[in-house]
Each structure stands twice: as structure tokens, then as C-alpha cells.
Amino acid sequence: MIKIVIIDDHPLMRKGLAMSLESEADIRVAAQAASAEDGLGIIEAEDPDLVVVDISLPGMSGIELVKQVQAIRPEMKTLVVSRHDEALYAERAIRAGAKGYVMKLEAPDVMIKAVRRVMNGGIYVSEKVNERLLMGMVSGNELLSQSPLDVLSDRELEVFELTGKGFGTREIAERLHLSVKTVESYRARIKTKLNLSNAAELMQHAVQWVEGERAG
């Protein structure tokens, strides 16, 4: 029996994921959590085989949670399930220690396939992302090519991505469960780290990056 813990702040998403997974006779969802902080306690108590985690969580981000799980339980497998573009986040999730990345809009059978691939010792990403990883190996680069935006933290990258998709400060704050002031602080840090002079440059850079990553 594969024992799973789901960590996602959307109750309906958790319920849907649990139903899809438990439609398989050998999969059991042992517990669910709405935040990474609560999730860590549940992981400690339940000792699951697999943790399914969203990226955008209140407080600690999903990718930071993956890193924490890797630190305390290196043998435990994690699978990221997110609405964020795979092209923008899959490599970062794998670098953090996740064994797979699935978009939330994928059909339930894709999720089941990903769980089985990960539990069998493999890594699950889409064919497009897999090709990028392989191309990095063939060209003699690291397994996962370093993006110029690796200087950004996980939360800064989320703010940068949403900026590139045209969302304003208030909309970003609502989506990421942050205050407007906190989002403005993240934007200021992003400008400093990427050597950008003003908000217009930040917007231009973010849009170009989002479009470039999707195309790539």
C-alpha cells in the first residue's frame, strides 16, 4: 500500500486529488494539510511513502518544504503538483529534491502515472521538460542548467512570474496569501538582485522571461 500525504491550501483541490489517488486499490491518502508548517508535523506523525505538495502555500513555499523534507527524511519521496507553468518551475522543484512535477490541469490518470513512476524510483516530468534536462546532459552542462534567475528565492520567483503575467501588486498579494507591503518588498529585492532600475524595467524583464521560458 502506497501511503500519501497531500499538502495544498485549496480544500477542493485536496479533495479532488485524494479522490483520484484513492480510486487506485493500492493507494491510501493518510492525511492532508493546508500549509507547509502543518504538513511537516503530519509528515513526522504519519511517515508517508510520498508527499504530494503544491508550490504556492501560505507561509513556507512548497519548494522550501521539499528541501526541508529532503533534509529530515532523505529517503522520503515528494511530488510537486501545481498550477504554475511547468516550464518555469519543474527544474527548480527537481533541484530542490522533488521526484516529479505535475500540472494541476492534467487528467487524473497522469497523476496516477506520476505517482507510480516516482514510487518505482523514477522522476516524472513532461516530455518537453525531460528533453531540456537531457539536452543539458548532452551538451556537457550540469544535469539541470542554471537559470540566471537562480539568484531569486522561491517566493521572489513566484512574484517575478506573476509580474511577467501582468498581475498587479494587489492581485499577487491575494494569490500568494501575502500583504501588499510584503509583495512590494519582494519586488524591491528582485530589482536589486537583477540590477533593474525601476518598476517598468522589472515588468519588461519579467514578461520577456516568462515568454522565453514558455517558448523554450
Q: What's the CATH number where 35 sits?
A: 3.40.50.2300
Q: Are residues 14 and 114 in the same domain?
A: yes
Q: Are 28 and 82 part of one and the same domain?
A: yes
**In which domain, by residue range, is 189 found?**
148-215
Q: Which residues contact 167 (CB under 8 A, 6 or more apart)?
A: 175
Where among 118, 138, 158 does a domain terminate? 138
pLDDT at residue 143 in the model: 45
For residue 209, the domain's CATH number is 1.10.10.10
Query: Could you tell me if 66 and 169 lie in one domain?
Result: no
pLDDT of residue 124: 94
**Residue 19 within a domain:** yes
**Confidence (pLDDT) at 145:** 46
CA distances to 43, 133, 137, 146 from 143, in Å: 29, 6, 5, 9
Check the CA dihedral 183-188-193-197 and report its sign.
positive
**Torsion sign (Cα): 99, 154, 73, 33:** negative
State which residues of the chain have pLDDT below 50.
143-146
CA–CA gap between residue 83 and residue 86 (Å, rounded) = 8
What pLDDT sits at residue 144?
47
Residues 120 and 156 grouped into a single domain: no
Given this model, what pLDDT does residue 140 score?
Answer: 52
74, 119: one domain: yes
